[in-house]
Amino acid sequence: MGWGTMIYLYMMYRIFVWGVNFKTAPVEQRELLACSREDAYYLLPPLKTINGIREMILLSTCNRVEVYTVAEDYEPMNRFILELLQLKGVDTRLRRNSFFLEDALAVAHVFKVASGLESMVVGETQIVSQFKEAYRIAKELQCTGKILNRLYEKALRTAKRVRTETGISKNAVSVSYVAVELAKRIFGNLAKTKVLLVGAGEMAELSAKYLKKLQAHLFITNRTYERAVELARELEGHVLRFEELSEHLHDFDIVIVSTGSKRFIIDTSMVKRAIKKRNYKPIFFIDISVPRNVDPEVNEVDEVFLYNIDDLQEVAEKNLKERLKEKEKGEIIVWDEVSKFMKWLEFLKVEKDIVSIKRAWKEVEEREPRVRRLIHSAAEEIRKDPSLAKKLVKIFLQEVEDANTERRLSYVYNRAHGT
């Protein structure tokens, strides 16, 4: 494919965002679309073969599953969404709880997500590493190109500006922090409680660090025993072998679950046995996994209280009130960066006009440095105001046809500016 053809293709494509998040769909619907790293490697290759879809990134976290695409128009985007739902085995009725954005609003959304402004816990920084990982996988699978590469770069720039130019990241918290805050609400002084952390990934590790500060009696279990030992040693906690989870569940007051499992790790029968061994002393489960790892039916067992990721929203909203002014400052920065990105996108649409000018004036440019400078100036004018592109191209090409070298340098600029 030639350079001119590639530019023409970029003129035809638009940026779209589609997905579900904690604002549009409850966790029981979000978990249907939730994607692990392995899922991303499985889903992206067939999705990128859809005619009219040029680029894509798939972002899946505990609070959102979203796709960022460059597509020809609505129809291929519709096919893309239907194919994604089919590959995940999800009923199309889920679309009722999804959202769809295009062009500047889509760009603004991506920038806000990367900046933590769209997070349940506004200002949390974990989203940055999740965003980077989503992009890394898409790039590795050759699903990104000129537009999404630029979008990613500018999203990270925006996130950095929001963090450094506002106070939103001061005392930054995360979903893991909010989970521990919920545990504090339940028990007050956690120094008197035994807490079991199921999982040893990034979110679990953050929870463990908060729990350590609160001097909780911390136990960690994980499918990979060595990882549990490593985390326990680092945080001066204790290790429970994963296969002994059911046998010792009754020992704990609070169980925080955060794993990548696609099935329930803790079920009703397991909990019934545990609560009986405790003589019906309450157990609190906080499940921040998506998909959920604790069977929702557990909540029906007497003296058992289950909270999931959506139940953390009330705690998070208290945090939001304190950060609202900083969030507004952050959104001003976002729209400043969106404006710059959309200008670049407009320039991309007229880039072929600059190629036309350079091609037509190639021979003269090689002979006359002044012409090279003039063409450079024309390109800069088009970058500042893409609406000038057609006019400048017409003038430059007409001058070539006239073959009047003496007139070219003085007249092109004057005609472009109407003088």
- Residues with a known catalytic role: 62
Nearest to 177 by CA among 113, 116, 91, 252: 116
* Spatial distance between the Cα atoms of 162 and 159, rounded to a whole number of angstroms: 5
127, 174, 170: which is closest to 309 by C-alpha?
Answer: 174
Going edge to edge, which strands form the sheet with 304-308?
238-239, 217-221, 194-198, 254-257, 283-287, 304-308
First vs last C-alpha separation in the chain = 40
Rounded Cα–Cα distance for residues 159 and 350 (Å)? 29
C-beta of residue 117 within 8 angstroms of C-beta of residue 134: no
Angle between helices 369-384 and 405-416 (to 10 degrees): 20
